Amino acid sequence: MPPRPGLSASVDLTVSDADTAIAMLSGEVPVLATPRLVGLFEEASMRAVEGELAPNETTVGMRVQIDHMAPTAVGTVVTAEATLDKIEGRRLTFTVSAKDPRGLIGAGKVTRVVVDLERFLDKIN
């Protein structure tokens, strides 16, 4: 069955030192790094369509548009959620959000493209 709007998934992360802006070289503060937040949004987006694609298909990232609105300390649990909103041909657009116990920390859109895995990998050789 092809993906359909409304599919969703969430992922949790307990922020560790390896997830900080310092560790990811994206800042000088010991809080959740924006690149790590993007990774959580991508993971949730992939999980939302898990089992919904043909066996030879996967999705690859195309566009990420997010706001990272609040810091999250090491040791805090972050939950990221993705909901498939729109399908345009092979493009899947997800609404994403993340929260920690204090509230919303990030939100935006992630666009992924459905590809044939073998044909996609042939392009890199």
Q: What CATH number does residue 80 fall under?
A: 3.10.129.10
Q: Quick one: what percent of the chain has pLDDT higher than 90? A: 96
Task: Give the catalytic positions in this structure.
Answer: 34, 42, 68
Residue 2 lies in a domain: no
The model carries a pTM of 0.95
Q: How far is CA 32 from CA 11, 15, 67, 90, 106, in A?
A: 15, 6, 13, 32, 11
pLDDT of residue 71: 98
**Count of structural domains within the chain:** 1
How far, in Å, CA of 25 to CA of 15, rounded?
16
Give the count of alpha carbons within 13 A of 124, CB side only: 4
Q: What is the mean pLDDT of residues 70-91?
A: 97
What DSSP state is assigned to residue 5? Answer: T
Residue 24 lies in a domain: yes
